Amino acid sequence: MISYINIKNFAIIENCAVEFEKGLNIITGETGSGKSIVIEAISLALGARADGSFIRTGADKATVEIAGELDGEEIVIAREVSSSGKNLCKLNGSVVTLAELGTYCRRLADIHGQYDHQSLLNPDYHVHLIDLYHADEISPVLETVGKLYDGYVKTNASLKRLMQNAADADKKRDFMKFQLEEIRAAKLTPGEDAELSERITLLQNSEKLHRILSGAYETIYDGEPSAIDMLENISRDIEAIGSYKASISDLSERISSLCYELDDIAHEIRSERDDMVFSQEELDECIERYDLIQNLKRKYGNEFLDGGITPGSIEAVLNFAETIETELKDVENSDHLRSELENQLEMITAQLNLATERLSKLRHDSAAELKKRIIEQLKDLNFNNSELEIEFKALPDFTENGKDAVLFMISTNAGEPLKPLNKIASGGEMSRIMLAFKKIIADYDEIPTLIFDEIDTGISGIAASVVGKKLKEIAENHQIICITHLPQIAACGHTNYRIDKATKGGVTKTTITKLDADEKVNEIARILGGTNITETTLKSAEELVSASK
């Protein structure tokens, strides 16, 4: 419940604090005194959207603080809206998002304004009321229906896509086969293009290579004198004087090693020269193969870059071929896939039919009980000759909420035919009808506080009295904060408050005062008689209070 609210610089309220009690809290006041502003401030603190228009003229920010209790724990909620657009939400001292605040506060309070009956006029809301009435039994089945419906929609969409693509499947299959055969026929090997490029360069320069290698070999071995002969002569001469000095002996060994090394080099040069056989046929074959690879790279190598594959590479071409092969299998297996999807859809449809039938049966049972409860509440609210029917109509296809369309049909006067809610009721009738629903819902929801903002619009007299008593009845298990302009309802309050607006020195201030027993009577007398309070109006006020007990 909400035990305390403090409002600063909100609309015409500069600074106003009030403590609320258990039971039925009634707020009254002159028109324009700011009664509904208090509800707007509470709504803001509970997570409603805000803008700069809420800020009192001349102030930098508006703040609303609420203290209360939820699930046995004390809570403190703070909301601050600044002229700069900054929006601060706090829950028990911690900053939270607006969405988080709203989600949390939906468990604390439910606000009903004079236009909230619009939800009752929406047939889509009627099935929700039936589901809510027996939520323990209906919610698990409704959840099952939702999951099955999700699978039904996805499977149906997949089947439709498959059937839509069937028209061009043959053309697509032939083209993909051509692509795959072209790539597979090439028998590509990763890195092959680099090797071919090197081989082509070698073949194109084979004459030059042969000439240079032959000259090098002749210089080493066949020259007059040859390089190897000259080096061997030097080696023998140095070796002859090596005994005179150790360092010269070392030079002799090194030159001897060079002789051996040069001999090995000469043999390798000769081997490379002898292998250097030019073949125009091989060159043509290499160029043709290289051109084929480059063409495939241009056509398919830039299509996919999975795994960081270089664009235009053989790896990319091979990757493309694998993808095409997979897609081709899908195309070639479309009949099989279609059969699988049709079987899957048939199975889901059967399960969904069973679940929706179960859901509909539970809803009919719930509706029968709910109908009795609503009629009882309507009679309590002075609809003595009312009739109510809850009509069910099967929808043509599944929805996430099943296949039931529900419509509440009502007649509020004897002899009148049953009509949809949105076709029959005046504003006053809708206020009482909504209250009948709220009484039933309040019996099984766990929201501790209900807030009503002038839902009594359009009613008076006996109807106002029964609405007051119904509010008091709901307040036995819930805290109610209610703004009213009717004395019959004000008289039913367990705790009454008066909101006043006064202007002093050009500044308007709003205050909320908790009334004692005598002040409550005087306030009800004011509502009855205006500014001219007489003994008669006081006596009438006392009678209203006494009759409400």
Indicate the residue among 279, 306, 332 that finishes a domain: 332
Structure tokens at 458: 């359009």
545 and 456 belong to one structural domain: yes
The pLDDT of residue 366 is above 60? yes
Distance CA 530, CA 540 (A): 13
Task: Look up residue 306 and give its amino acid.
Answer: D
pLDDT attached to residue 390: 92
Contact 204, 287 (CB under 8 A): no
pLDDT attached to residue 90: 92
Please report, for the domain that includes residue 52, its CATH number. 3.40.50.300
pLDDT attached to residue 449: 86
Place of tokens 């006067």: 413
Residue 50 within any structural domain of the chain:
yes
Residue 452 within any structural domain of the chain:
yes
Distance CA 70, CA 89 (A): 18
The pLDDT of residue 418 is above 70? yes
pLDDT attached to residue 76: 94
DSSP letter assigned to residue 190: T
Residue 121 within any structural domain of the chain:
no
Q: How confident is the model at residue 115 (pLDDT cuts 50, 70, 90)?
A: very low
Kindly report the average pLDDT of the chain as a whole number.
Answer: 84
191 and 71 belong to one structural domain: no
Helix (H, G, I), strand (E, B) or coil at 226: coil
Q: How far is CA 206 from the centre of its chain?
A: 69
Read off φ and ψ for residue 481, nearest 5 degrees: -115, 120
223 and 309 belong to one structural domain: yes
Distance CA 388, CA 233 (A): 129
Residue 301 within any structural domain of the chain:
yes
Which CA distances in Å does 389 have to 427, 437, 518?
A: 21, 14, 46
pLDDT attached to residue 453: 78
Structure tokens at 34: 């700011």
The model's pTM = 0.58
45-59, 257-271, 448-462: least confident range: 448-462
DSSP letter assigned to residue 222: I
Read off φ and ψ for residue 504, nearest 5 degrees: -140, 125
78-82, 305-309, 336-340: least confident range: 305-309
**Radius of gyration of the chain from Cα atoms?**
47
The pLDDT of residue 232 is above 70? yes
Indicate the residue among 307, 332, 357 that finishes a domain: 332
Indicate the residue among 299, 332, 365 that finishes a domain: 332
Q: How much is the average pLDDT of 138-153? A: 95
The pLDDT of residue 392 is above 70? yes
315 and 184 belong to one structural domain: yes
178 and 54 belong to one structural domain: no
Residue 128 within any structural domain of the chain:
no
The pLDDT of residue 189 is above 70? yes
132-141, 163-172, 352-361: least confident range: 163-172
Residue 392 within any structural domain of the chain:
no
547 and 462 belong to one structural domain: yes
Which CA distances in Å does 38 have to 64, 101, 430, 478, 497?
A: 10, 19, 24, 20, 12
Structure tokens at 292: 């084929």
pLDDT attached to residue 428: 59
The neighbour count for residue 536, using CB atoms within 10 Å, is: 11
16-20, 367-371, 545-549: least confident range: 545-549
Residue 485 within any structural domain of the chain:
yes
104 and 200 belong to one structural domain: no
Q: Quick one: 135 exposed, middle or buried, by C-beta within 10 A (0-12, 13-18, 19+)?
A: middle
185 and 287 belong to one structural domain: yes
- Interhelix angle 461-474/427-444, nearest 10 degrees: 20
Distance CA 404, CA 396 (A): 10
Domain count, the chain: 2
100 and 206 belong to one structural domain: no
243 sits in the region (left: phi over 0; alpha: psi -120 to 50; else beta) called alpha
pLDDT attached to residue 3: 92
61 and 190 belong to one structural domain: no
Choose among 413, 468, 478, 487: nearest CA to 446. 478
The pLDDT of residue 454 is above 80? no
322 and 237 belong to one structural domain: yes
Cis, peptide link before residue 225, omega less than 30° from 0: yes
Distance CA 300, CA 320 (A): 7
197 and 327 belong to one structural domain: yes
Written as one string, the DSSP assignment of 99-139 is: HHHHHHHTTTEEEEETTGGGGGG-HHHHHHHHHHHTHHHHH
- Of residues 359 and 311, more confidence is placed in 359
The pLDDT of residue 513 is above 80? yes
Strands 479-483 and 24-29: parallel
Residue 86 within any structural domain of the chain:
yes
The pLDDT of residue 173 is above 90? no
Contact 443, 452 (CB under 8 A): no
Contact 440, 367 (CB under 8 A): no
Range of the domain at 202: 169-332
